[in-house]
Amino acid sequence: MQRRDDVAYLRFVMERSLRRIICSLALASLLAGSALPAAHAQDRTLTVFAAASLKNALDDINAAYTARTGIKVAASYAASSLLAKQIEQGAPADIFASADIEWMTHAIRKKAINANTRVNLLGNQLVLIAPKESAISKVKIGDGFDLAKLAGGGRIAIGDVTSVPAGEYAKAALQKLGAWDAAATKFAMAENVRVALGLVARREVSLGIVYETDAAVESNVKIVGYFPPDSYPVVIYPFAATLTAKPQAADYLEYLHSSAAKDIFDKYGFTFLIRPTS
């Protein structure tokens, strides 16, 4: 009788343990299943580090790309120099879009960019802007251009000439035209070209030097002059995938080559430097 009771008790213990194991496995499976969509969603998001001047056009392109593919695109805009250094230090970017060749080359040399994916996609040009209500109107910019006199008692907004491509282009142009030295004390250096644009739009400065595409998206400024193309290096925007990019980055770059992307870049005034794909 005792033996029969022992066997029954042992069977009860084993069945209870088995039920616990089954419940634990079921719970683990449920948790794993709930984690998969989050991981999958993360894999379906691309992170783009792009020059500040690309914001409006790239926002539209990213929205169109997401609508077509279901892949979300998170964009971070800043000076190309800052973005290149962040990528170099391990920031989780999939795509880098620089406003000049130098900072893309820097990132490649630091082994942060997949050089085989690089494409020089866009061009732009440098312009002189003033607040919309300014008395300054059409200005002929050429040799002997006196920017300091034009600014009068006001200041001139430009990107930081030590780190922002638009500022570097501006300095090169002004030096070649002989206008840099006289105007040097009047510059308000900005952390990126869109900050310089904002200073002019808010009438905190008298003049600014930005890209033509920046002026086109700000209704509170006007273009008063165009810098001669031969007065500064050709403005080129290279795009490339990082070495840690997700596989979807290749498809995104391919979309940037497309006619659909070109139409958006054209709308904002960029020059498309390659032959678009269909």
Residue ranges covered by each domain of the chain:
1-42, 44-123+236-272, 126-226
Per-residue pLDDT, 114: 98
Among positive and negative, which fits the CA dihedral 106, 116, 88, 41? positive
Per-residue pLDDT, 23: 42
Per CATH, domain 44-123+236-272 is 3.40.190.10 = yes
Per-residue pLDDT, 16: 55
Per-residue pLDDT, 243: 97
Rounded Cα distance between 192 and 223, Å, is 19
Per-residue pLDDT, 178: 97
Per-residue pLDDT, 11: 54
Per-residue pLDDT, 45: 94
Kindly report the backbone phi and psi dihedral angles of residue 246, in degrees, each rounded to the nearest multiple of 5, phi listed first. Answer: -70, 160
**For the chain, which residues score pLDDT lower than 70?**
1-43
Per-residue pLDDT, 242: 98
For 147, other C-beta atoms within 10 Å of its C-beta total 24
Same fold across 44-123+236-272 and 126-226: yes
Per-residue pLDDT, 31: 43
Q: Of the CATH numbers 3.30.1490.20, 1.10.287.3510, 3.20.20.70, 3.40.190.10, which one belongs to the domain with range 126-226?
A: 3.40.190.10
Is 91 in contact with 239 (CB distance < 8 Å)? no
Greatest pairwise CA separation for the chain in angstroms = 116
> Which residues in 99-124 are b (16+ Cβ under 10 Å) and which e?
bbbbbbbbbbeeebbbeebbeebbeb
What helix, strand, coil percent values describe the chain, rounded to 5? 50, 20, 25
